[in-house]
Structure 1
Amino acid sequence: MSADGPRAPAHEEKVRARIAAARLWAAHQAPYLASAVFALKPVILEPALYEDTGVPVADPEFRAFPADTRWNLYVEPGTALVTPVEEVGWWMLHQVGHLVRGHAARSPVRPQSGHEVSHAVGAARDEEAHRWNQAADAEINDDLEAEDLHGPAGVVSPAGLGLPANRTAEAYVPMLDVLAQAMGRGGRALAGAIDCGSAVDGQERAYEDGGSGDGLAGLDRELLERSIAAGIQDRISARSEVPSGWRRWAEERLRPSVNWRARLGATIRRAVSVVAGQVDFSYRRTSRRAGAHTGIVLPSMVRAVPDTVLVIDTSGSVTDDVLSRLLAEVAGIIEGVAGPDRRLRALCCDVRPHPVQVVRRASDIELVGGGGTDMGAGIAAAMALRPRPDLVIVLTDGETPWPGQRPAAHVVACLIGDGGHAPEWASVARVPADPPRRTPAKGES
């Protein structure tokens, strides 16, 4: 929609020129999102005009250039004309983040039904929607900051608020609640009210009427997202820099749905096989090639069972229940490869490693610790043990520092949940944060 009157075409032309410039800026800053930026469809709204000059009046409600789930970008002319091109481009990348990460589908705020709600219920819904918008902003803004693209004043920044980076919106909601309460007691607000549109919570806005019927259809969105994910994977393969949040999204978007237990088992068995491939001579069993007539006893070739150490993240970000279940899975896999009744060394680690535990069963491991997280310290402690391990299996959510260099032992990182990361030199298996209990097989109790 455009304004009536003779000046409207000129205003619209200026707005479209600014949007085009902002697209180019955004695509240059984040090339892996260029196709998404150019897929946004600007919908120019009708502006309010100053009576004396006919110039569009900027409306703060549209400072975020809100979008809907059909990839329509709503542009209020007065706001667009007073916003620097770089800032418009930043908001485009921000809105692409909401759309591609599926924040509307993940939103805990359900679309309003036709019947009226009480004032108290409506206020609670508004507060819930506002908090979800902030949490979703936090999820994507740290990736923009990783590209040195810092947002306008008033946007939620995990770094600026002292919150951990690379978390999901669902994880940021309770953090922001606690932070908002603490700041409220001091008479300060957490952040200004910024509305990113239905792209973030799925609730249709009044300004979407009329112009929102167009945009990307479901199949087009599916193809676009797969193209973006494939492009990100290509950049990673070429060792180009991509923020960790987008790396994780692309990995999950293209990852086929497979049984996590099978994936975990295959990763550990492959690591054990690599380490166990280091064969040696042993006189425990003589070689079949030894001839009785020579009187010489020759050693046979044997494959050593790798010495394995578990490093367990007990910082508190992963519950003991989840760790206990995962420990049982890992111990069962190791037992199947290395044989039963083998002693297993385990190190619990938060910000520092705790004393090593030597056990025969995973259930014997005592989970101790709490506080910060540094799996680098746990791996260093494991490598200092004697005998030195051949294989180190780390159970963590991945929100931790890692050693700067590859350890001498092979490392398998069991990443719990969808967040976190592991270094390139580690073998990685992702497992759900709350793995379902194994269904007993026929004949099992």
Structure 2
Amino acid sequence: MTAGAPGAPVPDGPSALDLDKLFAARLHAARVRPYLATALFALHPVESRLVPTMAVDRHWRCYVSPAFVARTPVEDLAGVWVHEVSHLLRDHHGRSDRVARERGLIGAGERLRMNIAADCEINDDAFGDGLARPEGAVAPETLGLPVGELMEEYLSRFRLGQHTQDLAWLDCGSGADGLERAWDLGPDGAHGLSAQERDAVRFRVAQGITARPGNASGGWRRWAQEAFHPPQPWRELLGAAVRSAVSTSGAGEDYTYGRPARRSAGVPGAVLPSLRRKPPRVSVIIDTSGSVGDAELGSALLEVAAISRAVGGRRDLVTVLSCDAAVPVAHPLCRAEGIALVGGGGTDLRAGFTKALRMRPHPDVLVVLTDGRTPWPATRPPCRTVVGLFPRQRAARSWEEDDPDYVPDAPPEWARVVTIG
């Protein structure tokens, strides 16, 4: 849980849960954050004396400590309601499970780190405008981190240590980090929401945010844009294709004498190099020609962020090139939304291939995001290539694409092709 006095939780006394106070706080939260009202009222409160403060599970139950409610002002409780439901809306439990599998993170300490990172994602712009910041709420500035990042990015920026000792009490429940708690009622317990009901709640909240975006923060607007257009098989396929390309034998591998090969013992007088894996480098070529619309370019930037996650969050290993018939500049990846996509003319992505392959160090994987209206290189690049094809629009600017009978060449056989949309 991200709010409440730091330090050891105050033991619960014999008093019963003050539901009137708890529900008054929820009503206040719905009034100051009306776009979250559907989610707030979908949460079912469960009294629990095992919970330090308030916590949620992935089935949309909110476990509440009677002692915590008794000692916390209504305004602070409203902030806690918003915070806890934010974990569920942003699928922090599912994302934590995926990160744990991908990065090999195990144990309660790593789950605590995920909880802290998830809190930073929520709390950087959650409060103000009528919503009080609860005592002890963890924000990025608490750890000296930048605002506006995602849980996965924050997770790569800090480790547990002396600067996090005061956060050992933090526990937002399994709905925040995916690790089951002793108080959880489980999938078969009462008052849990089904997967379909949870998706319906997210959809309603996303609808409310996109209908009146001026009332929501930038973080919530970005979330709603993705939630309103939920992940489709093509996104999973593209991510799988990139992960496969960067993990296949040959990608990011090189011989080194820094650690001789074991077989050197069988060749007296000679030192043989060993084959070592180095972090794979990815160059992303984004088609910015006139035939690619703003929606496709926006989707391309989302895919760049996903590609960064596919290489373990190492943004220094990802370079982005915008290309129509030329490549003005290659951008090292800092933040996807900060990349200027320059173009608007005709299409010839061969210039992008040439630029990417001349970079030092060489990329191990090329990812091309395009509508396919381009000539392709005549020879296979010396690295693995993944092509994401956007839906083809009628609008075009080159003379070939203005021809209604024009049929662009299919991507070459040496590329792994994923159709987007």
Pick the TM interval, shorter chain: 0.5 to 0.7
Q: Distance in 2 between matches of 1:146 and 1:132?
A: 25
Q: Is it true that 1:31 corresponds to 2:34 in the alignment?
A: yes
Q: Distance in 2 between matches of 1:443 and 1:18?
A: 65
Of 269, 275, 278 in structure 1, the residue corresponding to residue 291 of structure 2 is: 269
Q: Is it true that 1:135 corresponds to 2:135 in the alignment?
A: no
- Residue 169 of structure 2: SS of its match in structure 1? coil
Q: How far has the Cα of 1:246 moved from its partner?
A: 1.1
Gaps of 5+ in 1: 1-6, 48-58, 112-122, 273-315, 336-342, 352-359, 369-413, 415-434
Cα RMSD for the two superposed structures: 4.2
- Residue 146 of structure 2: SS of its match in structure 1? coil
Q: Distance in 1 between matches of 2:20 and 2:332?
A: 56
Of 157, 164, 173 in structure 2, the residue corresponding to residue 175 of structure 1 is: 157
Higher RCO (CA-CA < 8 Å; seq separation 6+): 2
- Residue 73 of structure 1: SS of its match in structure 2? strand
Q: How far has the Cα of 1:110 moved from its partner?
A: 9.8
Contact 1:109/1:129 (8 A) holds in 2 = no
- Residue 269 of structure 1: SS of its match in structure 2? coil
* TM-score under structure 2 length normalisation: 0.55
Gaps of 5+ in 2: 1-12, 239-284, 295-312, 335-349, 361-368, 370-383, 389-409, 416-421
Q: How far has the Cα of 1:213 moved from its partner?
A: 2.9
Structure 1 residues 21, 209: closer, same or farther in 2, change over 3 A?
Answer: same
Moved more, 221-230 or 157-166: 157-166
Q: How far has the Cα of 1:212 moved from its partner?
A: 4.0
- The equivalences for 1:235-254 within 5 A come to 235-236=212-213, 240-254=214-228
Q: Distance in 1 between matches of 2:46 and 2:385?
A: 45
Indicate the residue corresponding to 1:15 in structure 2.
Answer: 18
Of 139, 142, 145 in structure 2, the residue corresponding to residue 160 of structure 1 is: 142
Structure 1 residues 19, 234: closer, same or farther in 2, change over 3 A?
Answer: same
Q: How far has the Cα of 1:73 moved from its partner?
A: 1.1
Contact 2:69/2:77 (8 A) holds in 1 = yes
Indicate the residue corresponding to 2:315 in structure 1.
Answer: 318
Indicate the residue corresponding to 2:71 in structure 1.
Answer: 82
Q: How far has the Cα of 1:130 moved from its partner?
A: 0.8
Indicate the residue corresponding to 1:299 in structure 2.
Answer: none
- Residue 66 of structure 1: SS of its match in structure 2? strand
Q: How far has the Cα of 1:367 moved from its partner?
A: 7.1
Q: Distance in 1 between matches of 2:46 and 2:109?
A: 27
Quote the sequence identity (%).
31
Q: How far has the Cα of 1:26 moved from its partner?
A: 0.6
Indicate the residue corresponding to 2:244 in structure 1.
Answer: none
Indicate the residue corresponding to 1:346 in structure 2.
Answer: 329
Q: How far has the Cα of 1:438 moved from its partner?
A: 3.1
- Residue 206 of structure 1: SS of its match in structure 2? coil
Of 421, 437, 440 in structure 1, the residue corresponding to residue 386 of structure 2 is: 437
Contact 2:115/2:176 (8 A) holds in 1 = yes
Q: Distance in 1 between matches of 2:32 and 2:385?
A: 41
What do residues 178-200 of structure 1 show as CA deviations (whole Å, max 9, x unaligned)?
A: xx44x45xxx7363421111111
- The equivalences for 1:403-442 within 5 A come to 437-438=386-387, 441=411
Indicate the residue corresponding to 1:204 in structure 2.
Answer: 180
Contact 1:155/1:192 (8 A) holds in 2 = no
Q: How far has the Cα of 1:124 moved from its partner?
A: 6.3
What do residues 339-363 of structure 1 show as CA deviations (whole Å, max 9, x unaligned)?
A: xxxx654376899xxxxxxxx9344
Structure 1 residues 200, 442: closer, same or farther in 2, change over 3 A?
Answer: same
Q: Distance in 1 between matches of 2:184 and 2:55?
A: 10
* TM-score under structure 1 length normalisation: 0.52
Q: Distance in 1 between matches of 2:118 and 2:107?
A: 16
Q: Distance in 1 between matches of 2:144 and 2:211?
A: 33
What do residues 156-197 of structure 1 show as CA deviations (whole Å, max 9, x unaligned)?
A: 2113333111211111112121xx44x45xxx7363421111
Structure 1 residues 350, 130: closer, same or farther in 2, change over 3 A?
Answer: closer
Indicate the residue corresponding to 1:93 in structure 2.
Answer: 82
Q: How many residues align?
A: 274
Q: How far has the Cα of 1:436 moved from its partner?
A: 6.8
**Which letter maps to 2:171?**
D
Q: Distance in 2 between matches of 1:271 and 1:198?
A: 40
Structure 1 residues 169, 348: closer, same or farther in 2, change over 3 A?
Answer: closer
